[in-house]
Chains A and B, each alone.
Chain A
Amino acid sequence: AQKITQTQPGMFVQEKEAVTLDCTYDTSDPSYGLFWYKQPSSGEMIFLIYQGSYDQQNATEGRYSLNFQKARKSANLVISASQLGDSAMYFCAMREGPGSGAGSYQLTFGKGTKLSVIP
């Protein structure tokens, strides 16, 4: 079974509108972390936001927020007030196990969602 599933290969959003990118995950480990990365055409993976499995509140970072629904195993990314520069590939990723100590940074990525922002 896929550990990270992103069901939207591509999404379009009007500039200044909000958009939600879907991500579901599968793990039996009670301790895990969920990440969203942005990958522009340059290739670099840019960290956007992180949610730990024990975090009580949904993570927010500026225009990015993570809608974490633990029972449904979903971790959707919400981008508010979309900008033309938001056009890129977006990847959801998961780290299983605690986040401290050596050997704990193996991430499993989904296949990504290509977001296009329309002027």
Chain B
Amino acid sequence: DAGVTQSPTHLIKTRGQQVTLRCSPKSGHDTVSWYQQALGQGPQFIFQYYEEEERQRGNFPDRFSGHQYPNYSSELNVNALLLGDSALYLCASSQTLTAAGELFFGEGSRLTVL
């Protein structure tokens, strides 16, 4: 049973560029959340997708956008990259009806902005 898979694992961009990160949720999961983890910090919630719609959003600017496809996979897009966007981007999936709300995380995409 494949867990949450993310791609790419590492990437380097320059300021002002745009990046797309991809996530395939764990089998049977229909909800995808994205988190940003800066070096030495805990993850911060970016947004959550369910039924192909953004359901909740954290305190992130509109440069951060996403999408969820009918197969539940998801993309995170970041436009006009800033140096401060350098971080580990974690995707987490869950099954909506799970009472405990346990999230399963992928290994993340490490973005470096130069």
Contacts and interface: CB of A to CB of B under 8 A. Distances in A.
Interface of A: 4, 33, 35, 37, 42-47, 50, 52, 91, 93, 95, 99-112
B45 A108 contact: yes
Interface string B50-76: 110001101000000000000000000
Given A33-B100, A42-B107, A44-B107, A105 B94 contact: yes
B56 A106 contact: yes
A50 B42 contact: no
A53 B94 CA distance: 20
Nearest to B4: A44
A7 to B, nearest CB: 14
Interface string B68-95: 0000000000000000000010101010
A44 B108 contact: yes
A85 B105 CA distance: 19
B104 A47 contact: yes
A105 B97 contact: no
A45 B90 contact: yes
Interface size band for B: 20 to 34
B101 A91 contact: no
Contacts of B104: 47
A112 B90 CA distance: 16
Contacts of A47: 102-105
Given A33-B100, A100-B97, A44 B105 contact: yes
B24 interface: no
B42 A111 contact: yes
Contacts of B48: 103, 105-106
B5 to A, nearest CB: 11
Given A45-B92, A104-B101, 7 more contacts: A4-B42, A44-B105, A45-B43, A45-B105, A47-B104, A103-B55, A107-B35
B99 interface: yes
Contact of A43 (B56, B94, B101, B110): B110
A43 B108 contact: yes
B31 A52 contact: no
Contacts of B96: 100-102
